[in-house]
Structures are given as C-alpha cells and as structure tokens.
Structure 1
Amino acid sequence: MTTSIVKAYKILVNKHMTVYNAFQTGFLMAGGDFIAQTVVEKKSLESYDTVRTAKFFGIGLLFVGPTISAWYKFLDKKFTAQVRQLANKKTAVFKKVALDQLIFAPVFIAAIISVIDLSEGGEVRKIPCELGKKYPDILLANYKLWPWVQLVNFYFVPLKHQVLLVQSVAVLWNTYISFKTHEN
C-alpha cells in the first residue's frame, strides 16, 4: 500500500509537476488563510469565512502554483550549465536569488495583492490605492524572509521539490498575506 502511494506520488511529481504544484499551492494557501482567520484574527467557527478560504485555494491553484512553477523552470533552465559545474554553483544560486528577489518578487507581490483584492470584489481602478496601502509592508516582510529561504531552496532542493519547500514555508507567509490583505 505505502509503496504504491509513493510510486503514484513520484509519477505525479515527475510527469505532471505543474498540476501537482498548483494543487499543493492551493491547499497550502487555503491552510494559511485558515490559520489567519482562526489564530491571528481569532474568528470563531461561526464567523469563519469559508468563501475567503475557497478563494485562497483558487488563487493558489490557478495563479500562484502555476506561476511559481513556471518561474522555477525558467530559472533552472537559465542556470543549469552553471549549477552542473560545482565551482559555479554558488554563483548560479546567488544569481537565481537576485533575479527572484529583485525582479520576480516585487512584480509577483503586486500581482497577488491585486488578484486577492479583485477576488474580494475590489475594482480595477482602486488597485493602485490598495497597493499603496499594502505593498510596502508586504515587500519589506518578503525581503526579511524569502532571500534566505531561496538560498536554501536553490542550493539544496531539486527543481521538482522547490515549490513544495517554498509552499511549506509559505503556510506562515500565506497566513501573513491573508491577514495583511484583509486588514482594515
């Protein structure tokens, strides 16, 4: 039984990595929202917003998971030759982290804030205002956490498991994002 589960898992990860990452991200984003509502916001089960959690699942499934998967595949292809040469591996990892944090993260954070706001019924014309309120704090928090996570991720973790590592750490990050994007 356990062997067949492990075998099915390996097939899913190897043959359908983007789909796997999308579902995994959806569940972990929903988990982050659940923690935000029950632990951080201290909502009772009666006032718990299941629709909000479902939206976080959908955003993870349809947007975050596929986007991060594609980004990591791009980085992997761009730096594969350098990573194979052990002498250049550290340089390649630092370049990946630099691209991730200086190009991808600022754009992705703006996108995720916008997508969450729109999923909550926000208007496109009000997105710049929402970004002005939420973006600086979230970007600063990003720079305190994610460069370190990505150093470990890009140096030690194979491509097919990078989204899993990031999304495992991101349960707490998603809790923060959920809280910050729903803060009055």
Structure 2
Amino acid sequence: MASLFRAYNAALLKRPMLTQCLTAAVLFSGGDVLAQQFVEKRGSLHDYTRTARLAFYGGVCFGPPMTLWYQFLNRIKFASSRRAVVYRVWLDQAFLTPIAVVYFFSMMSLLEGKPYEAPDRVRSAYVPTIIRNWAVFIPAQIINFSIVPPQFRFAYVGVVSLFWNTYLSLANQEQAELEAQAAVNTPVALE
C-alpha cells in the first residue's frame, strides 16, 4: 500500500493534470458503480453506458477545471493559516460550488443526448443538491485546507467525492426518470 501511495505521489508531482483527471474519472465511475450496485441493486442490469458517461465527465469535463481550481486556491497566500482555510473554503463553496452543480446536471443532460432537458433538470435538482453539498463539503474542505498537503487536496476531495458522486449519480438518474415519466404523461396536441 505504501508503494502505491508513493507511486501516486510521484505521478501527482510529475504529471498533476493527467493524474488528477484519471483520479476524477475513476472516482466518478466508482461512485456510479456504488450507486447502481449497492443502492439501486441493479446487479447484472448494470448500465455501463451511464458509468462510462460519468467516467468521461470526471476525467474530461470535471478533472481539468478542478485541477486548475485547486492550483489557484493553493497559490493564494494569507497572513495566517486560519484565514487561508476560511477564505479557501468560502471561495470553493460560495463561488465554485453553485457553478459546479449547474455544470454537472447540464453536462449530464448533454451527454445523455437530451440537452433540452438541462434547464428543468437544473431547476429541480439545484437547491437540494447545493444544500447537501454544503453539508458534506464545508466540513470536508475545512479539513482539506487545514491539514492535507497541497498536492493531495484533489485526491482527498476525490475520496470524499466517491460517496458524493454516488449521490450525484442517483440524483441525476432520478431527474432523468422523472423527465421520462413526464414525457410519457404529457398529452400530445393533435392539430
């Protein structure tokens, strides 16, 4: 285990963007596998396309901007470490999170081939998702910015996010099912 940790640390230092994007892909797809197998109990009916979509989102859509975001937050210098933690958590949760929630549900709609559903999906999922995000990530980010070394902050959030991604996968699937049900129940206007 220690050698795996050393190899991961070396990869983070040598190729941070690639390593963090691959980490995000694994964690987003892992969250979906947990959602499908342990919460939804889909067994052999696992939706591999859904898992691949979340892996793509994590590695390509989420990983690069989050890597840059953490690099930005790590460069900000403050007079005291306590002030640094407060401001980094505040920036992360007040500025990034509202955008990231809209981005996630919009991208999922787009990747599912249903971009026209994005506004409704965002509208119905935004408030409950942001409230739950703050309940999880404000304490997690306080720990992250106060005791986790900078090169491991993305990975730390990734581990917390494994369970968060399980929730996001379930929330997105629930919204998609509600939209499909609404489409079935919508009367067709005959001209």
Question: What TM-score results when the alignment is normalised by the length of structure 1?
Answer: 0.89
Structure 1 unaligned residues grouped into runs of 5+: none
Q: Structure 1 residues 8 and 140 mapped into 2: Cα distance closer, same or farther (>3 Å)?
A: closer
| Pairwise CA distance, 1:8 | 4.2
State the AA in 1 paired with 2:75. K
* Equivalent position of 1:129 in the other structure: 120
The aligned counterpart of 1:168 is 159
Map of 1:1-184 to 2, 5 A cutoff? 8-45=7-44, 47-79=45-77, 82=78, 88-123=80-115, 125-183=116-174, 184=177
Deviations 1:37-61 (A, max 9, x none): 111112121x110111011111111
Amino acid at match of 1:167: G
The structure-2 alpha-carbon separation of the partners of 1:166 and 1:10, relative to structure 1 and needing over 3 Å to count, comes to closer
Distance across 2 between alignment mates of 1:89 and 1:31: 33
When normalised by structure 2's length, the TM-score is 0.86
* Matching residue's letter, 1:70: L
Q: Is the 8 A contact 2:85 2:145 kept in 1?
A: yes
Unaligned runs of 5+ in 2: 178-191
Q: Which has the greater radius of gyration?
A: 2
Residues 12-68 of structure 1, C-alpha deviations (whole Å, 9 max, x = no match):
1102111101001100110100011111112121x1101110111111110212121
